[in-house]
């Protein structure tokens, strides 16, 4: 029986599920005791946002380091000129010697001051350029993530369950990786990489990929090439997302006991990202409607997967997944929807981080998801948008948010607030007090933008 939160999945995955179900029905495989070995970790890289191109160069404004430097070396210059003049005008040899000594000392001090000023100027130029470079890398990472997301969706467009499958795989894979203690950077990269697990299916003919009936042995062999094809398409990239996705594409159909494909890798020789996505992928496949059957209930899917513990799946990861499933619900959100307060905590983190990075799509998507999950508009404003704006103000106060990033974040915030206001106006029960709070936030954001534009002008 299909579940209300599940939709029809990829017909090609039907073939993998058929094989899995056949194995499960062949008889109970018993409970395989875990050997206690823990998944190996894999780390990533992260960037930081620093001063960007929109910031005025340090030391150029009134009272800045440039003026202080001038005040430091000017007295020595005056003293040098005075000593030189004294040496020329002096009438006695002793006075000439004194003036020459003073001139030498003043010239030395002047040289040091000028050298220090030049060193500071160079350091400021290096810091400015480094900030611009880091900012560019941050924007590039955002663009890469968006490109990967759209590529993932393009693969799913051949399936009537467009986008839903890849979102569920990305969500559950990330939750599982976080639960077993993987590095935060790895988890963030996995969120974007996991949806590309079946990208190799673009090389499979539609006549086979979308065939509603059972595949022949030759057709199944063709379908199984999608793992190698996906790896071939993604490998060799300088992108950490695509690099991880290439490994996942190649390894997510491998099995713990070595009977999987395409290479028959066994146990921990299978990359952990492949083992993680394998668990998420099979669960989603089992609980999703197919052409030839409805989706299994969560309870039925869990029972079938536990029978494959230590055979198809890494036993440690499967046990961890069951804990995630019990905590998060079958679509990783059902339990949170009953508690909007708990849901807003995660949305706040996503929204605030997206504002800091200038990622408008993620920021707007977080607010849209909150509304879709039933979080009241007042709570979205008071517990997500306003706290995020306060975080930005705190970062600015500590000098950790440059002018360019602030301007970009305020522009995104203004769009989000305008969208939220329209949503509130379209509701049946309009809350004038909430609308007034939103209007105040809009005015505050517009004032900040106007102040920043005035400072730049």
Distance CA 117, CA 130 (A): 20
CATH classification for the domain delimited by 11-31+144-332, as one of 2.40.10.500, 1.10.3210.10, 2.60.40.10, 3.40.50.1000: 1.10.3210.10
CA distance 313 to 257: 8
Q: pLDDT class for 225, splitting at 50, 70, 90?
A: very high
The two tokens of residue 214 are 């059972």
Asked whether the beta carbons of 406 and 393 are under 8 A apart, the reply is: no
> At 32, phi and psi to the nearest 5?
-90, 125
SS3 for 85-108 is HHHHHCCCHHHHHHHHHHHHHHHH
Q: What is the pLDDT of residue 228?
A: 95
Residue 48 has pLDDT above 50, yes or no: no
Q: What is the SS3 assignment for 153?
A: helix
* Assigned token pair, 98: 């004194």
Other CB atoms within 10 A of residue 173 CB: 27
Confidence check: pLDDT of 214 > 80: yes
- Map out the domains of the chain as residue ranges: 11-31+144-332, 65-135, 340-456
Between 167-176, 275-284, 322-331, the lowest mean confidence (pLDDT) is in: 322-331
Reply yes or no on whether the pLDDT at 325 is more than 70.
yes
CA distances (Å), 278 to each of 18, 219, 260, in order?
A: 15, 22, 11
32 has a pLDDT exceeding 60 = no
What are the Cα distances from residue 325, in Å, to 39, 320, 329?
19, 9, 5
Average pLDDT over the chain, rounded to an integer: 74
Q: pLDDT tens digit string along 326-366?
A: 877 666 544 444 455 656 777 888 888 888 888 887 888 78
Least confident of 44-58, 85-99, 157-171, 248-262: 44-58
pLDDT at 88: 64
**Cα separation, 280 vs 171, whole angstroms:** 9
172 in Cβ contact with 280 (< 8 Å): yes
Most confident of 155-164, 393-402, 425-434: 393-402
Whether 442 shows a pLDDT value over 80: the answer reads yes
**Range of weakest confidence among 200-204, 290-294, 355-359, 452-456:** 452-456
Confidence of residue 300 (pLDDT cuts 50, 70, 90): very high
Q: Report how far residue 441's alpha carbon sits from residue 393's, in angstroms, rounded to the nearest whole number.
A: 13
pTM of the model: 0.52
Q: Which element (helix H / strand E) includes 278?
A: helix 272-286
Sort residue 440 into left (φ over 0), alpha (ψ -120 to 50) or beta: alpha
Helices H, strands E: what count in the chain?
Answer: 19, 0
What tens digit of pLDDT does each residue of 96-151 get?
Answer: 666 666 667 766 776 777 777 777 777 777 766 665 655 555 555 555 565 666 66
The pLDDT value given to residue 248: 97
Q: What is the pLDDT of residue 140?
A: 55
What percent of the chain is helix, strand and coil (3-state, nearest 5)? Answer: 70, 0, 30
Tens digit of each residue's pLDDT (9 = 90 or more) over 401-413: 888 888 888 888 8
For 340-456, which CATH class? mainly alpha
Angle at CA of residue 190, ends 184 and 191, nearest 5°: 95
pLDDT score of 443: 86
């Amino acid at each position: 029986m299909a579940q209300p939160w599940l939709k029809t999945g990829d017909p090609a995955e039907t073939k993998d599920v058929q094989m899995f179900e056949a194995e499960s029905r062949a008889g109970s495989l018993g409970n395989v005791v875990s050997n206690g070995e823990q998944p190996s970790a894999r780390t990533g890289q992260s960037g930081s946002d620093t001063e960007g191109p929109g910031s005025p160069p340090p030391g150029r404004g009134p009272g800045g380091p440039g003026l202080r430097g001038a005040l430091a070396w000017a007295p020595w210059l005056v003293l040098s000129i005075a000593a030189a003049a004294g040496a020329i005008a002096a009438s006695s040899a002793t006075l000439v010697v004194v003036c020459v000594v003073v001139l030498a000392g003043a010239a030395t001090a002047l040289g040091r001051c000028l050298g220090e000023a030049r060193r500071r100027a160079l350091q400021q130029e290096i810091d400015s350029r480094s900030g611009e470079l880091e900012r560019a890398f941050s924007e590039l990472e955002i663009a890469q993530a968006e490109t990967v997301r759209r590529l993932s969706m393009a693969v799913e467009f051949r399936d009537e369950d467009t986008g839903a499958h890849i979102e569920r795989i990305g969500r559950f894979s990330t939750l599982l990786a976080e639960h077993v203690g993987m590095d935060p950077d790895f988890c963030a990269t996995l969120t974007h990489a996991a949806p590309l697990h079946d990208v190799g299916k673009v090389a499979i003919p539609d006549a086979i990929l979308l065939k509603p009936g059972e595949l022949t042995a030759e057709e199944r062999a063709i379908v199984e090439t999608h793992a190698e094809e996906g790896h071939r398409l993604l490998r060799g990239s300088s992108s950490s997302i695509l690099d991880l996705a290439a490994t996942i594409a190649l390894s997510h159909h491998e099995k713990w006991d070595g009977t999987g494909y395409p290479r028959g890798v066994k146990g921990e020789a299978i990359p952990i990202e492949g083992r993680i996505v394998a668990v998420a992928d099979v669960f989603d496949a089992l609980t999703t409607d197919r052409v030839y059957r409805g989706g299994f209930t969560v309870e039925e899917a869990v029972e079938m997967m536990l029978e494959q513990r230590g055979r198809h799946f890494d036993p440690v990861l499967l046990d961890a997944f069951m804990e995630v499933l019990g905590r998060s619900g079958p679509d990783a959100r059902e339990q949170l929807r009953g508690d909007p307060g708990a849901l807003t905590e995660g949305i706040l983190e996503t929204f605030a981080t997206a504002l800091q990075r200038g990622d408008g799509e993620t920021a707007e998507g977080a607010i849209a998801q909150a509304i879709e999950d039933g979080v009241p508009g007042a709570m979205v404003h008071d517990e997500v948008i306003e706290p995020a704006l306060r975080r930005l103000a705190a970062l600015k106060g500590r000098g950790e948010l440059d002018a360019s990033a602030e301007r970009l974040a305020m522009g995104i915030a203004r769009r989000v607030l305008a969208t939220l206001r329209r949503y509130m106006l379209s509701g049946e029960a309009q809350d004038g007090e909430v609308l007034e709070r939103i209007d105040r936030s809009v005015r505050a954001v517009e004032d900040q933008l106007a102040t920043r534009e005035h400072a730049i002008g």
